[in-house]
Amino acid sequence: MNNEEMLTQLKERIKTDLTAAKEVADIEALRVSYLGKKGSITDLLKCLKDLSEDERKTFGQKVNKAKEEFTALIDDAKKKLIENEVKKELDSMPEFDMTMPPRIRRGSYHPITLVQRECEEIFRSMGFTVEDYSEIVSEYECFESLNIPKDHPARDMQDTYYLENGQLLKTQTSAAQNAIYRKYRDALINEGKPIKAIFPGRCFRNESTDACHENTFFQMEGVYVGKDINISNLIFFMKTMLSEVFKRDIKVRLRPGFFPFVEPGFELDINCLICGGVGCPSCKHSGWLELCPCGMIHPEVLKAGGIDPEEYTGFAFGRGLTRLAMMKYGIKDIRDLNSGNLKSMEQFQA
């Protein structure tokens, strides 16, 4: 077979080969086998050296033209194949139906948001204001104004994240107390309006995490300052408020507890909600659950807030909102709450 015949044959063969190709990869393989370094066209060009000068010129032009034709044929076949595949996929899709209900995934509230909102509502109904405050505070707000001086050992339990400007991420919602007293003291002194405020917020501690400890968690601080506020008011108030939160009659007991910003300070326990006080694994068989530290606001703390402790007294309490959410929804690992795992969080509905 002479060179001319071989070229004509190649032209016929490439068409058949391209029609038989089923996938883009098959077409690319053909491109290599016809046009590649060791491809059929390149082989033909190698024969040029055995031809006379005239023949070389005309045949060389023919082969180059064939090369262009082959490239166009291959590109065209590839384009058609891709278009066909897209069309097939589109055809297999269901038709757009305007009457179908939308398939939108509904969001849900985080369990901590749920308990926080519920508590806020209860406190509002009892005449409390809900305060908003920064997560970044000064050392003075977080510690000194709360009667925790620089060298006080109580600071060791509350190591946190310090910023370059000397401020820090607050370790406790008690850090807002000073600002709350300053905001409302004029109304207290001039109009005799007691200060009744709660402050829910995020707290941070430099903590090794496990099922019970997190570096980021939520608390809710509450303060009540006025004339002649005493421990009986504190106990009555806490009992009423907790019965509202848990929607049943709650028994409380106070144990002495130390917090530098209250004097006296207490750990408030409630009767175990699971066993009703008989004793079970949840309450470590004691019948009581530790829930809410509280106490009478220390005179130094009132003074720092510009309130005369000889004239006014008050109580403060701090509730772990994260802990409350865990108790309410039976969440066993605190880390689940910050995991961002929508599957586990979206089961909680308002």
Residues of this chain that bind ligand DAH (CB under 6 A): 172, 174, 221, 259, 262, 265, 293-295, 316-318
C-beta closer to ligand DAH: residue 237 or 317: 317
C-beta closer to ligand DAH: residue 17 or 221: 221
Q: Angle between the 231-246 and 111-125 helix axes, to the nearest 10 degrees?
A: 130
CB of 327 to ligand DAH, least distance (A): 17
C-beta closer to ligand DAH: residue 62 or 239: 239
CB of 267 to ligand DAH, least distance (A): 9
- The residue sitting closest to ligand DAH, measured at its beta carbon, is 318
C-beta closer to ligand DAH: residue 31 or 170: 170
The sheet that has 216-226: what strands, in order across it?
A: 129-130, 195-204, 216-226, 313-320, 288-297, 262-271, 252-256
C-beta closer to ligand DAH: residue 234 or 250: 234
**What value, to the nearest 5°, has the Cα angle with vertex 197 and ends 195 and 201?**
150
CB of 221 to ligand DAH, least distance (A): 6
CB of 234 to ligand DAH, least distance (A): 9
* CA distance to 2, 65, 350, per residue, from 45 (Å): 13, 12, 78
* CA distance to 115, 133, 246, 337, per residue, from 109 (Å): 10, 22, 19, 12
Residue type (1 letter), 292: C
315 in Cβ contact with 297 (< 8 Å): yes
C-beta closer to ligand DAH: residue 64 or 206: 206
C-beta closer to ligand DAH: residue 39 or 222: 222
The stretches of the chain forming alpha helices (DSSP H) are 3-20, 24-35, 40-46, 53-92, 111-125, 139-142, 177-191, 231-246, 299-304, 321-329, 342-345
For residue 264, whether the previous peptide bond is cis, meaning omega lies within 30 degrees of 0, is yes
CB of 293 to ligand DAH, least distance (A): 3
CB of 231 to ligand DAH, least distance (A): 12
Cα–Cα distance, 109 to 115 (Å, whole number): 10
C-beta closer to ligand DAH: residue 200 or 295: 295
CB of 318 to ligand DAH, least distance (A): 3
Cα–Cα distance, 171 to 165 (Å, whole number): 17
CB of 237 to ligand DAH, least distance (A): 13
Cα–Cα distance, 200 to 73 (Å, whole number): 71
Dump the DSSP string for 59-72: HHHHHHHHHHHHHH
